[in-house]
C-alpha cells in the first residue's frame, strides 16, 4: 500500500509538472500547499520558497492600478469560503522579482475524502502574449479605419474636383469665346448668348 501510494504521488507530480499552465494548491488559511514546475518557471518562486506561505500576499497582493487587492475579495479565497468554482478572465499576478503579469485563471474547491472543502486549486495562464496580440489587432483595426477614412475623403475630394472642374472649364471656355467674339466685332446677341452660358455655369 505504501509503495502504491508513493507511485501514485509520483504519477500525480509528473502529471502536474507536464502541464504548461501554472498550478498551485491553497489551504483554508490561504497558504500554498503545492506548486507545479510551470508555476515556478512563470513566477520565479520555487516550491520551497512558496509552500506554506500565504499565496495572496505573494502573488495577488496589488491591482494593476497599484491599489491593494484585499484578501477578502480574492476569488481564490472566495472559492473555498463559498465552495464555488470561479473563472477569472483578466487579473494580475506578481513574480518574485517584483514585476507583474496579466493572467487568466480558474479556482476550484478541493474536498477531502469526507466531502469537506479543505482549500482550492488554481490553474493560471500568463496572457501577456494574448494581450499583445489583442493590442496589435486593435491597432491594426484602428489603422484600417483611418485608411478607410482617408480613402473616403480622397473619393469625396476627387468627386468635388470633378464637379467643380466641369463648370469652371465651361466658364473659362465661354469667357475666351466672348473675348474673341468682341474682338471680331460679332453681334451683341452672340456675345450675350455666350455670357448667359457663363451665368448658367
Over range 46-52, report the average pLDDT.
92
Q: How confident is the model at residue 13 (pLDDT cuts 50, 70, 90)?
A: low
Q: Which helix (H) or strand (E) holds 98?
A: none
Asked if 106 and 86 count as a contact pair (C-beta separation under 8 A), the reply is yes
What's the Cα-to-Cα distance from 60 to each of 36, 63, 129, 194, rounded to whole Å?
18, 8, 20, 85
Q: How confident is the model at residue 65 (pLDDT cuts 50, 70, 90)?
A: confident
Q: Which residue has the higher pLDDT, 17 or 83?
A: 83
Look-up of cell digits 504548461 = 20
pTM for this entry: 0.63
Amino acid at each position: 500500500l505504501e509503495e502504491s501510494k508513493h507511485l501514485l504521488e509520483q504519477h500525480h507530480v509528473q502529471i502536474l509538472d507536464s502541464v504548461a499552465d501554472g498550478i498551485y494548491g491553497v489551504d483554508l488559511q490561504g497558504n500554498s500547499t503545492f506548486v507545479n514546475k510551470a508555476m515556478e518557471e512563470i513566477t520565479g518562486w520555487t516550491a520551497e520558497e512558496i509552500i506554506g506561505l500565504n499565496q495572496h500576499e505573494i502573488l495577488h497582493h496589488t491591482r494593476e492600478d497599484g491599489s491593494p487587492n484585499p484578501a477578502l475579495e480574492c476569488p481564490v479565497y472566495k472559492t473555498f469560503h463559498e465552495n464555488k468554482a470561479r473563472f477569472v478572465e483578466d487579473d494580475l499576478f506578481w513574480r518574485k522579482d517584483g514585476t507583474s503579469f496579466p493572467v487568466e485563471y480558474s479556482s476550484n474547491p478541493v474536498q477531502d475524502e469526507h466531502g469537506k472543502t479543505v482549500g482550492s486549486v488554481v490553474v493560471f495562464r500568463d496572457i501577456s502574449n494574448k494581450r499583445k496580440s489583442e493590442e496589435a489587432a486593435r491597432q491594426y483595426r484602428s489603422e484600417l479605419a483611418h485608411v478607410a477614412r482617408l480613402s473616403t475623403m480622397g473619393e469625396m475630394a476627387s468627386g468635388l474636383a470633378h464637379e467643380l472642374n466641369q463648370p469652371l472649364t465651361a466658364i473659362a471656355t465661354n469667357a475666351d469665346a466672348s473675348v474673341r467674339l468682341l474682338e471680331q466685332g460679332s453681334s451683341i446677341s452672340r456675345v450675350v448668348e455666350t455670357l448667359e452660358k457663363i451665368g448658367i455655369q
